[in-house]
Structure 1
Amino acid sequence: MTTTETKLTTPAPAAVRTPRPWLRTLGLRSAGVAALLGVWWLVTALEIWPRVLVPTPGDVWDAFLTVAGIRPDENGRTGFSGYTLWQHLGMSLERILLGAGIGTILGIVIGLAIGTIPLVRVLLEPGVTFLRQLPPLAYFSLLVIWFGIDETPKIWLLLIAAMPPVAVATAAAVGGVHRDYVNGARSLGAGRWDVIWWVIVPAALPEILVGIRLGVGVAYTSVVAAETINGVPGIGGMIRDAQRYLQTDVVILGILVLGISGVLLDSCLRWAEHRVGPWRGRA
């Protein structure tokens, strides 16, 4: 057999399989979480700070089992402040979804008005910008004076926190719609509301969804402030009560629960963003 024939009959080497992107991402994120847990364990093992100030990961896990109602503590009690972890989390999510939901709707309406009506832009844009610059605690005390200590001031706080980012993003998205789209629709006989509904809103939708994510994120970070007064049940109220009694493990547990649930909620919004506006970045 000649050398040429040998080369022709030699089997091609097997293709090297590359790991799937999602698997690689999952591995990297798992490694990052493991590294953080390792640093946390090392700090507690070296006893740099007293255990009452920096509890071990095992202490926080035990607090989770007790507060979640899975395993009672040494006194036979479960939950915290009369409620389980899931009741605290459920109440916080209910407040966030209600306040941020109303704020999102108002933000879209105001943003569309600012972006399409010059007179409304002159009247409302300074007020929206003013609210966007205020930290939640700056006006929460005033809301308590006006509405008391029940649910109303909490919902108003989350509403005001979520509305300005959505309004600003919506107005900017509407202003960025290419004028050829609008002029083309008008040349075909479309009226003002037809242009807004069938041209401007679809073209601006991807950026509006980004604004919704920002607004919900701001509301999520404001829920602890909203629950500092009469916030039980609620994760913020749980953290506040645990801080009063120096139960640092419960405080860290509340922070972790807020962070993890916030990441999951943002992932849901990102999924909705890709589903509703898949053309973002492509057109």
Structure 2
Amino acid sequence: MSDAVHKRILLRALSLAVFLAIWWAIAEANVWSDLFVPDPTAVLGRLVDGETVHDGARGLSGYYLHEHLWHSLWRILRGLFWAIAFGVPLGLLLATVAPFRIIVEPYVTFVRALPPLAYFSLLIIWFGIEDASKVWLLFLAAFPPITLAVLHGVRSIPRRQLDGALSLGANRWQVTRFVVLPSVLPELFTGIRLAIGFAWTTIVAAETVDGIPGIGGLAWETKKFQQTDVAVLCIVLIGLSAIVLDQIVRAVENRVVPWRGKS
């Protein structure tokens, strides 16, 4: 690894150490009660509990932590898959068919502006309390940024670039394949990364009903017994999982879109 990479890792490790030290100092000073600021060791203890059988109980709420994480991730991946499958062609249509854009774009913006809980009740009525309603909610949270990213990517292509391809004898499909899609890829990956962020921020809302197993459902359930340490653990795991998934997408982006440069 290069010196720059070593330096970046060192800085991040140092910032994490400082954060943990401040957290531990506040907890030890009893500035607030454990109900508001749990001790880091208590959160670590919950992490151990979540992966073991303790007091006759399996993990937390009957499932191991990795099972909670996997169920949430699987819901997110399904919602994200359909968001990409729907958002990419929709974005291309919005960018290339003006009447379609005039009619449909306001609806995409409308859906993007809605908070998830505003329509989750409708999704439960339509699709039930099982995974279908959750995946639909995650899809609705994820597809607008992908659609708008593709729209912006296509519209930012210089007209002379398209005209140049046409003047060289390229047909419509060849222009799309060799000019439009490569130009849109950087914006598409940006849209996917934004969509992943929206999906993770929506996962707790998606799992408020019948969300166990699920890390969002586990976080929601902590309010019943005021389990602040479990809530903090869920927040940390959701954040770390989002970072890992984002890093995977960035790695794919660096391979697929090398001309954009490392990010």
With the shorter chain as reference, the TM-score category is: over 0.9
Aligned partner of 1:187: which letter? S
Calculate the TM-score normalised by the size of structure 1: 0.89
Q: Please give the alpha-carbon distance, in whole angstroms, between the structure 2 residues aligned to 1:126 and 1:197.
A: 28
Is 1:220 matched up with 2:200? Answer: yes
Q: Which residue, 94, 100, 104 being the options, matches 1:114?
A: 94
Among 128, 134, 147, the alignment partner of 1:148 is: 128
Q: Which residue identity lines up with residue 144 of structure 1 in the other structure?
A: I
Of the three residues 39, 42, 60, the one matched with 2:25 is 42
The structure with the greater share of residues assigned to helix is 2
Correspondence for 2:14 among 23, 27, 31: 31
Letter in 2 for 1:123: I
Q: TM-score, normalised by structure 2?
A: 0.95
Q: Does 1:59 align with 2:59?
A: no
The one of 82, 97, 109 equivalent to 1:129 is: 109
Q: Structure 1 residues 281, 176: CA separation in 2 closer, same or farther (over 3 Å shift)?
A: farther
- Residue 5 of structure 2 corresponds to which residue in structure 1? 22
Runs of at least 5 residues in structure 2 that lack an aligned partner in the other structure: none
Matched with 1:240 is 220
Provide, for residues 2-41 of structure 1, a one-character-per-residue CA deviation record: whole Å limited to 9, x for no partner: xxxxxxxxxxxxxxxxx80011111111111111111110
C-alpha separation between the residues in 2 aligned to 1:127 and 1:175? 19
Aligned to 1:167: 147
What are the superposed Cα offsets for residues 193-229 of structure 1, whole Å, 9 maximum, x if unpaired? 2211221111121111111111111111111110011
* Amino acid of the structure 1 residue aligned with 2:233: L
Q: Deviations over 1:250-282 (max 9, x none)?
A: 111111100001101111111111111111269
Moved more, 148-157 or 44-53: 44-53
Q: How does 1:67-216 map to 2 (within 5 A)?
A: 67-69=50-52, 72-73=53-54, 75-216=55-196
Partner SS for 2:58: coil
| One-letter amino acid of the structure 2 residue matched with residue 194 of structure 1 | Q
Q: Distance in 2 between matches of 1:68 and 1:243?
A: 21
Counterpart of 1:7 in structure 2 is none
Aligned length: 261
Verify the 8 A CA contact 2:196 2:242 in the aligned structure 1.
Answer: no
Q: 1:150: Cα distance to partner?
A: 0.9
> Given that residues 92 and 150 in structure 2 are in contact (C-alpha distance below 8 angstroms), is that contact kept between their aligned partners in structure 1?
yes
Distance in 2 of aligned mates of 1:139 and 1:39: 40
CA distance in structure 1 between the aligned counterparts of 2:115 and 2:186, rounded to whole angstroms: 27
Check the 8 A contact 1:223/1:236 in 2, yes or no: yes
SS at match of 2:260: coil
Q: Is the counterpart of residue 276 in structure 1 residue 256 in structure 2?
A: yes
Does the aligned pair in 2 maintain the 1:166–1:212 contact within 8 Å? yes
Q: CA deviation at 1:43?
A: 0.9
**Aligned mate of 2:229, from 249, 259, 262:** 249
Partner deviation per Cα, 1:116-155 (whole Å, 9 max, x = no partner)? 1112211211111111111111111111122111111100
**What is the CA–CA distance in structure 2 between the aligned matches of 1:229 and 1:125, rounded to whole Å?**
31
Q: Percent identity?
A: 43
| In 2: Cα distance, 1:78 partner to 1:54 partner | 26
Q: Give, in whole Å, the separation in 2 of the partners of 1:250 and 1:281.
A: 40
How large is the RMSD of aligned CA atoms in angstroms? Answer: 1.4
- Once structures 1 and 2 are overlaid, which stretch shifts more, 241-250 or 93-102? 241-250
Q: Structure 1: how far apart are the matches of 2:224 and 2:75?
A: 23
Q: Classify 1:223/1:65 alpha carbon distance in 2 versus 1 (closer, same or farther; 3 Å).
A: same
Amino acid at match of 1:35: V
